[in-house]
């Protein structure tokens, strides 16, 4: 008896490994995907002719046969169709309860056995894929976003893409089942999200564009501030802020509201336009505000009075030089000491600072300018001469003397 049991064990090992004779059974596919309600075809290909076999599912022998005489489990009789030549099986009208592993064991005429396993996936088709968000317009650094990908079908697998690239989980992004959670959304999270659902039978997808509100921040004003511009030119200030949605721009000069919009133009500018211009930006989506101020400096487009006096003297020298008397007059006038800071100008003071007339020290610049022209020593001032009017008081007499009728230039 012991020898018999040993022989049976050796035969069992021989069968389980296929034996030295190389008998094999190849399934057409190890995973069989079938729509619920349709027929499942378990196709196998034995390497030799077979004399019988069995099919088992969840430890139940649903069918066994020798030759062409099958023995079918009662509950499967209306649904089983067997191919005696290959051992292939057809299971009609499958449902979810049929899902699982099916094992076939085939036997040759010489009694050699071998087995193969096929897994059945009875599924509903993927359909009606929908992607929705808990918040379509989250605010940066404040809100979170929960995307939910729903679909019809069974045994569903989901793949998440952002800008057509697979989404990797990290400390801020978590994927669980049919949801994708983004903690503390950033502006870089804005873009197209796509959910692909599949189950081996078919697949479907849905996508949505996520908008993230942010700003206004990173403000700038062009041209580069502070802005220096010549009198009479056209000035356009352009304000920009990074913001979503597009913000409202308002320009102020102090408390005076000037205009709305990102651009503010002054055409033409005058000396009165020097000052500070502030661009206020308001984002209704985030409820946040910001501002930036530009300093505008308007300069005269002509020459200063000192430059004009220098040009006049240079022209005289270039034409014929300056006579001794003229040169002395110029030196006398140009070297006249100027009033000390905080003191009034007195036309009656001598070069040494001594008063040369009865005019007392109380007569200053105010009294001087109220005197008639001939008492100021400017009897030959050319009326309406813009160059003369642009000179300092101490230079006007020099200019007048140079232009006195009969004077040699």
What pLDDT shows up at residue 320? Answer: 41
What pLDDT shows up at residue 253? Answer: 95
Do residues 195 and 268 both lie within one domain? no
**How many domains would you assign to the chain?**
4
322 vs 330: CA distance, rounded Å? 10
Do residues 32 and 111 both lie within one domain? yes
Q: Confirm whether 88 is domain-assigned.
A: yes
103 vs 54: CA distance, rounded Å? 8
Q: Confirm whether 287 is domain-assigned.
A: yes
Do residues 133 and 79 both lie within one domain? no
What pLDDT shows up at residue 391? Answer: 54
Q: Confirm whether 244 is domain-assigned.
A: yes
| Cβ count within 10 A of residue 42 | 20
Do residues 32 and 70 both lie within one domain? yes
Q: Confirm whether 194 is domain-assigned.
A: yes
CATH number of the domain residue 44 falls in: 2.60.40.10
Do residues 288 and 328 both lie within one domain? no
What pLDDT shows up at residue 206? Answer: 97
pLDDT values of the chain reduced to their tens digit, one per residue, 409 residues? 344 343 333 333 333 433 436 899 999 999 999 999 999 999 999 999 999 999 999 989 999 999 999 999 999 999 999 999 999 999 999 999 999 999 999 999 889 999 999 999 999 999 999 999 999 999 999 999 999 999 999 999 999 999 999 999 998 999 998 999 999 999 999 999 999 999 999 999 999 999 999 999 999 999 998 999 999 999 999 999 999 999 999 999 999 999 999 999 999 999 999 999 999 999 999 999 999 999 999 999 754 444 444 433 333 333 344 344 443 433 444 444 443 443 333 333 333 333 333 333 333 333 323 333 433 333 444 555 555 555 555 555 544 554 444 433 3
Q: Which domain holds residue 79?
A: 11-123
Do residues 245 and 280 both lie within one domain? yes
Domain boundary among 212, 242, 267: 212
Do residues 201 and 292 both lie within one domain? no
What pLDDT shows up at residue 21? Answer: 64
Do residues 74 and 135 both lie within one domain? no
157 vs 129: CA distance, rounded Å? 12
What pLDDT shows up at residue 235? Answer: 97
Mapped onto helix, strand or coil, the DSSP state of residue 25 is strand
Domain boundary among 123, 147, 177: 123
Q: Confirm whether 5 is domain-assigned.
A: no
Do residues 320 and 252 both lie within one domain? no
CA 384 to chain centre: 62
Domain boundary among 106, 123, 140: 123
**CB burial of residue 140 (10 Å; 0-12, 13-18, 19+):** buried
């Amino acid at each position: 008896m012991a020898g018999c049991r040993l022989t049976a064990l050796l035969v069992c090992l021989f069968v389980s490994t296929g034996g030295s004779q190389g008998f094999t059974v190849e399934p057409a596919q190890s995973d069989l995907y079938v729509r619920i309600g349709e027929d499942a075809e378990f196709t196998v290909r034995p390497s030799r002719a077979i004399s019988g076999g069995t099919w088992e599912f969840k430890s139940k022998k649903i069918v066994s046969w020798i030759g062409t005489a099958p023995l079918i489990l009662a509950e499967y009789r209306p649904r089983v169709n067997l191919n005696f030549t290959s051992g292939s099986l057809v299971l009609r009208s499958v449902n979810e309860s049929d899902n699982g592993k099916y094992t076939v064991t085939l036997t040759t005429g010489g009694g050699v056995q071998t087995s193969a396993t096929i897994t059945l996936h009875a599924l509903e088709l993927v359909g009606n894929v929908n992607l929705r968000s808990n918040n379509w317009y989250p605010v940066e650094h404040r809100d979170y976003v929960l995307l939910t990908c729903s679909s019809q079908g069974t045994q569903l697998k989901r793949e998440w893409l952002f800008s057509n690239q697979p989404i990797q989980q990290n400390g801020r992004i978590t994927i669980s089942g049919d949801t994708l959670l983004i903690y503390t959304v950033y502006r870089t999270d804005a873009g197209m999200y796509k959910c692909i659902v599949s189950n081996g039978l078919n697949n479907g997808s849905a996508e949505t564009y996520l908008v993230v509100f942010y700003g206004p921040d990173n403000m700038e004003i062009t041209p580069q501030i502070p802005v220096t511009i010549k009198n009479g030119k056209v000035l356009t200030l352009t304000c920009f802020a990074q913001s979503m949605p597009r913000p409202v721009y308002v320009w102020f000069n102090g408390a005076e509201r000037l205009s709305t919009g990102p651009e503010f133009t002054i055409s033409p500018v005058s000396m009165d336009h020097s000052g500070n211009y502030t661009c206020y930006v308001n984002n209704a989506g985030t409820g946040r505000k910001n501002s930036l101020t530009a300093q505008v400096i308007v300069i005269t487009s002509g020459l200063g009075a000192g430059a004009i006096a220098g040009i006049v003297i240079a022209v005289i020298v270039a034409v014929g030089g300056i006579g001794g008397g003229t040169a002395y007059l110029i030196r006398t006038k140009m070297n006249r000491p100027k009033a000390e800071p905080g003191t009034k100008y007195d036309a009656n003071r001598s070069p040494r600072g001594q008063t040369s007339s009865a005019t007392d020290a109380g007569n200053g610049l105010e009294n001087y300018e109220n005197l008639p022209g001939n008492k100021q020593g400017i009897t030959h001032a050319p009326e309406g001469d813009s160059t003369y009017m642009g000179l300092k008081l101490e230079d006007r007499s020099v200019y007048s003397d140079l232009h006195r009728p009969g004077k040699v230039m």
